[in-house]
Structure 1
Amino acid sequence: MVLAVVALAVLLLLALVHRWLWARLVRDTTRPGGPARTAGTVLAFALPLLALAALVAGHAGAPFWLQRAVAWPGFMWLAVLLYLTMAMLVAEPVRRLWLRRTAAPEPAPVPVPAAAPAPAAAPAGPEPQPAAPVPSEPGRADGPAAAGPTRRRFVARTVGGTAAAAALGTVGLGTYGVLRGPRVKRVQVPLARLPRAAHGFRIAVVSDVHLGPILGRAHTARIVETVNRTQPDLIAIVGDLVDGSVHDLGPAAEPLRGLRARHGSFFVTGNHEYFSGAQQWIDHVRELGLQPLENARRALPYFDLAGVNDVQGRSEGHGPDFQAALGDRDRTRTAVLLAHQPIVIHDAVRHGVDLQLSGHTHGGQLWPGNYIAELANPTVAGLERYGDTQLYVSRGAGAWGPPVRVGAPSDITVVELASYQA
């Protein structure tokens, strides 16, 4: 019931926002009945419907070709809508001030002359007819009062055009940043119990790839090439690899077979795996050469590597089990934990984990989303310490929804472990 009320409130808000944007960007900038107004009005209805279709197509079981058809325009409009609304909110007081300062002054009253004596009677003759008025040009308004609509339209076009250009430019740059592929970020993490022999051990952290109707095989290939170029000792994929079924996205994930690391590639589930059929993906990534860690631990030569299922798995009875993954381990050894969501950091602290590697937040993905992400996550991006445990959160290598990032560039992080004894 609560979710239904929230959903209705969100839909109502979106309807009001679209109505306001239509008024400012279509009604105020175009002539009534013209083709520009007709086209703008059609888009004002079509774009939000495409966005809604993009959001629900996958969950509704729509064919993958249809998901792809609505994903690009629908998701991209959501990104443009965010920044267009922000730009227009900033522009609104400018528009009002401009109109106020350029308002045409009221015409001065014309004095009425005093009544003159009646003229002498003219000779009888035909009564003179008044001159016929000269018709105005079609579509042209005359007089000082008629200049108002033209001025208002000019102001609306200037302000609206500037806001639209700013929004489209922001989204365009953010899209380029995603489609070119993630950049490599390097972080050194000193660990007190790490042996000297493990000093410089490199873990390539990949999170939140979000393969789906937009990001596909080419994006996976870029990620694999980038990871292999760093020559890591170990590769950790920490959840949200996919947004869809193995049937639809198996070919997109195929390049993962090419990942290379001396100590192997490991995988833990994210919340989106449980929206996409977690078990089928666990089985499939194993076929691709990755080693799933389902509440499990591997003893590597220098430290223990553990992984827990995502908290979303609780809905299927397969949530995180820290006791199974870490309960009986030798606490004199360093422990590195793979867990999709940063919120499990307090469980990691209680179980003596030295370093937790996570994703999930996307760093906010679309500014100012980082402020919202801070409300739900202890760390949004980067390295922070919680007691004796350190937490590193990657911004992710892909994007959910719109393939756009603003203020939160995608990354593949190479975490280099450092020993105090070195």
Structure 2
Amino acid sequence: MATAFPYSFTRTKHLTLCPPSSHGGDAADHGPLPWILLDVRAYIADRRNSTTATIVFSNGRKIQITFCIAPPPLVSYICAWSPATDPAVFFAKEPAVGFVNDNLVFLRVHSDQIYDLIYHASSRPSLKLIHNPYSPYNPYDYLRRIDNVVILPDRRHAAGADDDDNNSGHFYVSSLDRDHRFDIGHFKLCLYDEDDSMDCKWSNNILLLDQLRNAPDKDIVLHLTEKVLILDDEQPLVAFVDPWRGMVICNVLDNSSTPGGSSYMPMPSEIFNIHNTYTSSISRDIAIVNGRLTVVRLCLYLDSDDDSDDDDDDDCCAWDLTTWSKPVTCLDDEWREDLKIKSSDVSIDDSTRNACLLPKLDDGCPTTETLQLAHPTLSLVDAHIVYIMGKVDVSDEKALVLTVDMANKRLQEVSMYDAERIVNDFDYAYTHSTISQYFTTAAAGD
């Protein structure tokens, strides 16, 4: 069906209707996946499988969400659809994927209003609406930024509830927002309590940066959350991460004026940066891998051939990758540098899958050093494996995803990523998620 979407970003509106068709076949071919790379922009298409969930809003509008999964380095994606309304009328832009944790995903849908949804993966997938009190004077009183949000299972109901029990889908939503009524260093720790036994409600506590344990100098260190990690499900202990500088760690269910045990933990000193703001995913990533809080940094630099002339075409973009980590159970430990490799150390050989997709040097050998690289992304099962996005030119409509084995200094695999929606850009493209563990084998993309 041909539709004309009322997008402000007209360059991508037709692409949103065209999900990738190359994701192969039956999920039974690879079994349940321990984790996936997940596109942060949904496609708009009527796809259905065992992951499909539907919600009907009070105004009669309906939305359908379906996951189409594939093993990394292929990028899985979500398809959103409006079964009861022309999608050209319903969707103002692509639904955005926010926080992902275990079997929960935060989704933001722009339509006649903003719908914030929680997708719950189970044998009966479901969608729930977050009731965000709307004010025409302050439409973003809560959940101002999608990268500030964390979803936590409600342990009051989880005990004894099986996967088919509706109570197992109860949750909390929390965010750490700048309190713009005051100077920098003032935050509101917001909490949404979704409980059928009471009215869904919001509450908030003031959190002051300079009252945290190991507090940074708030006049020097600006904290801008770009990612949220759950360090301990039981407490629950959450890290609101500014990947340039550090993380605010707190128990989001603590109702005290300054949540007890709240602390600040800086990033490794080698990559601590007081100047940059946002877009950290271009060069770094942080995740919990096998019980360790792990950081990866991608560094690019020009590497001119000394034996060549001064032609700029002879310049290659050399790169290096470095990882640091510490145990999640011992956050007071120092960061440990684990691995560091340079692009010149990384071998590309006959065992590198799909090496033919790489650009070639004059001698016909495949190389990564003529690619523009960004988005280092940690594997969630092996901290030695890092995925990097590459383009020959930022205007390319296809990008490559490189699977780099840092421990063995080799390129494992190359795959294609449909990057038409981030042409002339290296905008945030995908994240990692373990939600695939909760899907049945019928969830493969068609």
Give the TM-score category using the shorter length: under 0.3
Larger relative contact order, structure 1 or 2 (CA cutoff 8 Å, min sep 6): 1
Q: Which has the higher helix share?
A: 1
TM-score by length of 2: 0.23
Structure possessing the higher radius of gyration over alpha carbons: 1
TM-score by length of 1: 0.24
Q: Which has the higher strand share?
A: 2
